Structure 1
Amino acid sequence: MYSEPLSHLPDPIRQAEFYDGVAFKRGIAWFIDTAVIIAITLPLALFTIIGIFMIPVYFIVVGFLYRWFTISGGSATWGMRLMAIELRDAYGRRLNGQQAFFHTLGYSVTMSTVVLQIASIVMMLISERGQSLTDMVMGTTALNLRA
């Protein structure tokens, strides 16, 4: 059905339970992650002299580091873990530090432009595996964790 290397991932037709509701769960996880990033960013900004003027920069840096470290540590951000989903590479393995860095970089580039954000959301909603723009480029996908 799929050519290599995507054939290492669960088949979206025969094993649909791995992909059921993943796009919605990713949306909820995004809100959770954003709340965590804000909770880290605000104290940093408020307790430094020029921090209040640097909130957007702090938010971007903290967000990047948070996503990179949490994804490289368990193939999911804290929000994804709460929603019981995780990222897998094209071979079905958890993402390592390098893959997590590039996934986070791709996410950051996508979030920098409204057109790319919309395209990524639409791709998550219409693709068989619920893959975002970054996922399509990297060959990664988000899966429901096994019960």
Structure 2
Amino acid sequence: MTNSDTTREPPRIGGSDTARPYAYDPVTQPEYFEGVLSRRLIAFCVDAMMIVGPVLLFGMFIFIFGLITLGLGWMLFWLLSPAFVVWAITYNAVTLGSPASATLGMRLMELEMRTWYGAPCYSLLGAVHAVCFWVSLSVFTPLVLLVPLFNDRRRLLHDFLVGTVVVNNAQRAAALRRQQ
């Protein structure tokens, strides 16, 4: 083995190490950020119903199953908390990792989540985003809601933590661009 073979760095995995610029500029592309905060709030409410609904149905099933089994089925109520957590993370991972890069509520509101450099969201990022959202909401409740008011891209605290940005989808942005 020669000296040049021992000093060579291993190949990098996952792309280049060059700096990437922000994909969406609120100054030159304001249509991507117009109305995002209010639409994101409505999308959150829709997604909360999509997450809480099946868990409530599971709770009603356990209750009825408990009546049928004379109380033995009620010992399954401890499963509600883990089921809620697993379902919430799975919902976000699957929907944000889809080709639309959006949850069902975000699709309804014509929003999508992108990485800060413009790549589509992927499942692991969607799951981590959900966990960071709930942790940041638990720890910094009032401050989390103030963060988007002080940045041009309207990013929340957990968006900064995981490197994402929520923007209007391409169709909505094009429609807003035509109106201007």
Which TM-score bucket, shorter chain as reference? 0.7 to 0.9
* Among 64, 78, 88, the residue aligned to 2:89: 64
Q: Secondary structure at the match of 1:130?
A: coil
> In structure 2, what is the Cα distance between the partners aligned to 1:131 and 1:42?
31
Which deviates the most, 14-23 or 58-67? 58-67
> In structure 1, what is the Cα distance between the partners aligned to 2:92 and 2:157?
17
Q: TM-score, normalised by structure 1?
A: 0.84
The aligned residue for residue 13 of structure 2 is: none
The Cα RMSD (Å) is 1.8
Q: TM-score, normalised by structure 2?
A: 0.70
Which deviates the most, 11-20 or 70-79? 70-79
- Deviations 1:108-140 (Å, cap 9, x if unpaired)? 212333xx2322221123211010111112221
The aligned residue for residue 161 of structure 2 is: 137
Amino acid corresponding to residue 126 of structure 2 in structure 1:
A
> In structure 1, what is the Cα distance between the partners aligned to 2:141 and 2:112?
20
Give the aligned length.
141
Q: Assess if the C-alpha contact under 8 Å between 1:44 and 1:51 holds in 2.
A: no
| Percent identity (aligned) | 28
Amino acid corresponding to residue 131 of structure 2 in structure 1:
L
Q: What displacement does 1:85 show? A: 0.4
> In structure 2, what is the Cα distance between the partners aligned to 1:98 and 1:68?
6
* Among 130, 146, 166, the residue aligned to 1:122: 146
Structure 2 gaps, min length 5: 1-18, 63-72, 172-180
Structure 1 gaps, min length 5: none
Amino acid corresponding to residue 64 of structure 1 in structure 2:
I
Q: What displacement does 1:56 show? A: 4.3
Q: Secondary structure at the match of 2:113?
A: strand
* Among 13, 22, 25, the residue aligned to 2:27: 13
Once the two structures are superposed, the pairs formed by residues 83-122 of structure 1 within 5 Å of their partners are: 83-113=109-139, 116-122=140-146
> In structure 1, what is the Cα distance between the partners aligned to 2:43 and 2:30?
20
